[in-house]
């Protein structure tokens, strides 16, 4: 199964139909028009550049295993250029003998033109391209929003909400598990993942899947399906960061007080954010998502209150809002049984009626840092109701982002002060080395996330890379090490080889001082006063002393 990230379509009008059937003298191209298709073809090398800004692209169409398209089929797409009079995109050489195999008359092409049949190109999140024909009789087997999109214009391009493969996996996990806890060291991208899932949930673009193993042309088993039927406008999200002062009254149900000429003190119940989300999701076809960052920072058992029981999927109402044998009802404070409470919502205000029964499609995505598990543990009753989704420091992701080879540990003398690639490789190896040692001395929960070095990728020159790396060492990596090893200075001294020449000075007690209880002190001033070049050379020497880097052979890179 593949996720679709973009689609290009062209209906089978008379000009396109005649081109594919050799009935249009002099016309060999399928015209896509002047819409912007560049995002769809992003990443493909441009060829045959012209002096008016035109170029060609070779699109490697992936074959269908059951459609007899042969090996991966190249399809040429041409752009006329920004300085051309038409600025059109087209697909050249699409006569019956030279067209893409699945668009040829001897395959599934209808007998007459049809503005409800379409030539389509699909792009997936994994970077694959597919081409196929969608016939008028197959439209009803497509997701409704895709069908509406194709019929909205004779040709066009639509890019869907972009998301990383990990965000897509997390999103599907959330739809399956309802309550998910992102768990991992700081700097591993948990907040960014939550933002990606939020965009997917809000339906910035439809989420369609594509089955390339189904029988080609089967209307009964359509290749394109919606992940879920929720449409744009029927999803609501609320993002909150949990902290110590957060209360049940803000989260679930609180009160406001006022006085007037008839009442000395009037107490009025007021819904919290979670109650707003549940009532929104109670509407037919609607769903809601609570995103709770740093969930363990607050008193979560007090925050969630009665909702802890209702959160479990089997304790909720069914798909149609009806009770099941395991549905749980809980009575909330400040309201009598059967009493109603207005709840603010986009559009028409909603009404909550006591007691509470949790709708099926209320989702919770929370996060916490693994290093907090000992000092701020998550309440066990709440914790067991979450599916734990661990996010670890990702060396493969970081090396790809920095554009370096994770296995190359060789360095030419002086390169780490001027060569941007060598500096990025040094940064990656230093990060990897630190994480290995942290895992040994403190445990994997304390490792450094890949986001600490993420900005380094944008450095284009040696000077930019050196500045970015030195800043990361001084202000991100070393401060984290000082915190992790604050009670174990000897381990940090060994790790950074501080008894050897270093910009960081080690002050060690003499025998009398040690007898009186003194211990080694690390003086960090030199870390900030030394030059960036000296700092990078020290890091390289440190890695070589630990065997994590090695000098390049004579004449090497």
DSSP letters for 185-224: -TTSSHHHHHHHHHHHHHTSS--EEE-SSSPTT-SSS-SE
Residue 414: CB atoms within 10 Å: 11
What is d(CA 165, CA 171) in angstroms, rounded to the nearest whole number? 10
Q: What is the pLDDT of residue 276?
A: 92
The DSSP secondary structure of 410-479, one letter per residue, reads EE-TTGGGT-HHHHHHHHHHHHHHHHHHHHHHT-GGGPPPGGGGGGGGG--SHHHHHHHHHHHIIIIIHH
Q: What tokens appear for 308 in the block?
A: 């802890």
Q: What is the pLDDT of residue 229?
A: 53
Which residues share a beta bridge with 241? Answer: 293
Rama region for 87: left / alpha / beta (φ>0; ψ in -120 to 50; rest): left
Q: What is the pLDDT of residue 523?
A: 93
Burial class (CB in 10 A: 0-12, 13-18, 19+), 394: middle
Cis peptide, bond prior to residue 355, ω within 30 of zero: yes
Nearest of 406, 370, 396, 208 to residue 295 by alpha carbon: 370
Contact 37, 46 (CB under 8 A): no
Q: Which long-range contacts (CB under 8 A, 24 or more apart) does 107-112 make?
A: 107/133, 108/133, 108/135, 108/217, 109/12, 109/17, 109/20, 109/21, 109/133, 110/12, 110/135, 110/136, 112/17
Q: What tokens appear for 382 in the block?
A: 């709440």
H or E element in which residue 492 lies? helix 489-495
Q: What is the DSSP letter of 297?
A: G
Q: What is the pLDDT of residue 256?
A: 76
What is d(CA 421, CA 442) in angstroms, rounded to the nearest whole number? 31
Tens digit of pLDDT at every position of the chain (557 positions):
778 889 999 999 999 999 999 887 777 899 999 988 999 999 899 999 999 999 999 999 988 766 665 545 689 999 999 999 889 999 998 888 888 888 888 888 889 999 999 999 999 888 889 998 899 988 888 888 889 999 999 999 998 767 788 898 899 899 999 999 999 999 999 999 999 999 888 874 567 877 776 666 666 666 787 776 555 568 899 999 988 888 888 888 887 776 665 666 667 788 889 999 999 999 988 899 999 999 888 888 888 888 888 899 999 999 999 999 999 999 888 888 888 888 887 777 888 888 989 999 999 999 999 887 655 667 777 788 899 999 999 999 999 999 998 788 888 878 888 899 999 999 999 999 999 999 999 999 999 999 999 999 999 999 999 999 999 999 999 999 999 999 999 999 999 999 999 999 999 999 998 889 898 899 999 999 999 999 999 999 999 999 998 887 654 44
Contact 156, 35 (CB under 8 A): yes
Q: What is the pLDDT of residue 17?
A: 92
Q: What tokens appear for 375 in the block?
A: 């000092």
195 φ/ψ angles, rounded to the nearest 5 degrees: -65, -40
Instruction: Give me the domains of the chain, ranges plus CATH numbers.
Output: 2-160 (2.40.330), 179-208+226-390 (3.40.50.300), 395-548 (no CATH)
Residue with token string 């139909």: 17
């Amino acid at each position: 199964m593949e996720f679709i990230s973009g689609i290009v379509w062209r209906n089978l009008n008379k000009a396109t139909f005649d081109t594919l059937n050799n009935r249009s003298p002099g016309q060999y191209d399928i015209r896509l028009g002047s819409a912007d298709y560049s995002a769809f073809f992003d990443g493909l090398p441009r060829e045959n550049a012209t002096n008016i800004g035109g170029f060609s692209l070779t699109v490697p169409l992936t074959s269908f295993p059951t459609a007899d398209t042969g090996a991966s089929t190249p399809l040429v797409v041409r752009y006329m250029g920004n300085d051309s009079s038409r600025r059109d995109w087209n697909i050249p050489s699409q006569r019956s003998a030279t067209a893409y195999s699945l668009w040829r008359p001897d395959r599934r092409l209808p007998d007459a033109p049809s503005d409800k049949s379409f030539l389509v190109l699909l792009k997936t999140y994994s970077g694959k391209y597919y081409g196929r024909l969608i016939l008028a009789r197959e439209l009803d087997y497509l997701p409704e929003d895709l069908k509406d999109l194709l019929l909205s214009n004779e040709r066009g391009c639509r890019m869907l909400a972009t998301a990383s493969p990990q965000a897509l996996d997390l999103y599907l996990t959330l739809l399956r598990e309802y309550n998910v806890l992102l768990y991992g060291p700081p700097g591993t991208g948990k907040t960014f993942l939550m933002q990606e899932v939020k965009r997917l949930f809000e339906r910035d673009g439809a989420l369609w899947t594509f089955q390339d193993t189904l029988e080609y042309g089967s209307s009964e088993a359509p290749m394109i399906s919606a992940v879920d039927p929720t449409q744009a406008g029927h999803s609501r999200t609320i993002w909150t960061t949990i902290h110590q002062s957060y209360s049940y009254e803000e989260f679930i149900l609180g009160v406001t007080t006022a006085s007037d000429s008839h009442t000395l003190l009037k107490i009025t119940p007021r819904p919290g954010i979670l109650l707003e989300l549940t009532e929104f999701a109670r509407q037919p076809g609607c769903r809601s998502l609570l995103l709770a960052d740093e969930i363990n920072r607050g008193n979560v058992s007090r925050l969630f209150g009665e909702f802890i029981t209702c959160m479990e999927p089997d304790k909720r109402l069914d798909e149609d809002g009806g009770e099941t044998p395991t549905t749980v009802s809980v009575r909330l404070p400040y309201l009598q049984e059967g009493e109603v409470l207005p709840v603010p919502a986009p559009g028409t205000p909603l009404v909550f009626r006591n007691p509470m029964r949790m709708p099926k499609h209320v989702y919770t995505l929370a996060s916490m840092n693994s290093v907090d598990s000992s000092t701020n543990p998550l309440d066990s009753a709440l914790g067991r109701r979450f599916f734990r989704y661990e996010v670890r420091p990702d060396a493969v992701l970081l090396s790809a982002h920095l554009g370096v080879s994770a296995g190359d540990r060789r360095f030419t003398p002086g390169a780490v002060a001027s060569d941007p690639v060598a500096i990025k490789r040094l940064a990656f190896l230093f990060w990897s080395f630190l994480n290995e040692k942290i895992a040994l001395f403190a445990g994997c929960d304390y490792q450094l996330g890949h986001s600490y070095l993420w900005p380094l990728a944008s450095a284009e020159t040696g000077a930019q890379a050196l500045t970015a790396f030195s800043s990361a060492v001084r202000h991100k990596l070393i401060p984290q090490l000082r915190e992790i090893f604050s009670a174990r200075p000897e381990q940090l001294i060994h790790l950074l080889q501080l008894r050897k020449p270093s910009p960081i000075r080690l002050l060690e007690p003499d025998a009398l001082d040690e007898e009186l209880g003194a211990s080694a002190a690390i003086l960090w001033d030199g870390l900030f006063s030394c030059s960036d070049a000296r700092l990078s050379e020290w890091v390289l020497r440190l890695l070589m002393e630990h065997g994590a880097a090695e000098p390049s052979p004579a004449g090497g890179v």
